[in-house]
Amino acid sequence: MEDDPTSRGGNPPASVPGPGRRVVIQGLLGGVGAGLALPLSAESHPLEHHAADPALMARAAANAAAPKTTPEFLDPHAYETLASMAERIVPGATKAGVAPFVDTLLAVDTPENQRRFLTAVGALEGDCIARFGRPWTGLTEEQQTDVLKAASTGSPGREDKTWRPGDEFTLTEKPPEPRVPTTLRDHFDHLKQWVSGAYYSSEIGMRELGWTGQQFFASFPGCPHPGGHR
């Protein structure tokens, strides 16, 4: 990483460079930090394959830092819904440019991954309508909190085994098949992966993790925002 511009009297950069975000994402996926618990699942993080493309990461970072970005993949309503949901899941997501960053990556993703993302957002939208008769953007903050609380505390379609630092790990068992989302919790978890990955690879998220421009974070926090659904 480059030196912190603030140490030389300059202003902080508008966004973390593409390669920088790529390194951070790969670090998060690799389980940096002694307190990070990793699910032992055949399912990969949705940002994993994007992190290997420096040019794409740089373009997504540039869109995230732009004053106003025209969506490349999502329609206006879905884009507005994503931006609002992201802010409620991880406070600060709007300032970090999570919605344009995710939208840029989705535009070049596989049709299967695009469908899965849209299905996840649609599932939460459907729950909003079932509960309150209005889509996400038409709900009050309290109603949105109720939807996210129900989604984040529900039962997943299948429980994954979890490895924590210090646990013995062997490959004697057959790896589980990729989980097909079947519950609202599954859809919420998938959306949260996109949002948290985009947030923590932004400058705002990196600084929250302890990055100063000269060094990376030492550990991955649990949930520093009491009101966040992570």
pLDDT tens, position by position, 64-112? 988 887 899 999 999 999 999 999 999 999 999 999 999 999 999 999 9
Q: What is the pLDDT of residue 86?
A: 97
Domains: count for the chain: 1
Q: What is the DSSP letter of 161?
A: E
Q: Is 213 within a domain?
A: no
Position 141 confidence tier, pLDDT thresholds 50, 70, 90 = very high
Residue with tokens 């649990």: 222
Q: Is 72 within a domain?
A: yes
Q: Is 67 within a domain?
A: yes
Degrees to nearest 5, angle at CA 100 with 35 and 221: 10
Q: What is the pLDDT of residue 25?
A: 65
Q: Is 134 within a domain?
A: yes
Q: Is 198 within a domain?
A: yes
Q: Is 225 within a domain?
A: no
Instruction: Note the pLDDT tens digit of each residue in 181-202.
Output: 579 999 999 999 999 989 988 8
Q: Is 227 within a domain?
A: no
What's the domain range around 14?
5-208
Degrees to nearest 5, angle at CA 161 with 187 and 145: 35
Q: Is 149 within a domain?
A: yes
> Helices 111-132 and 184-200, interaxial angle, to 10°?
120
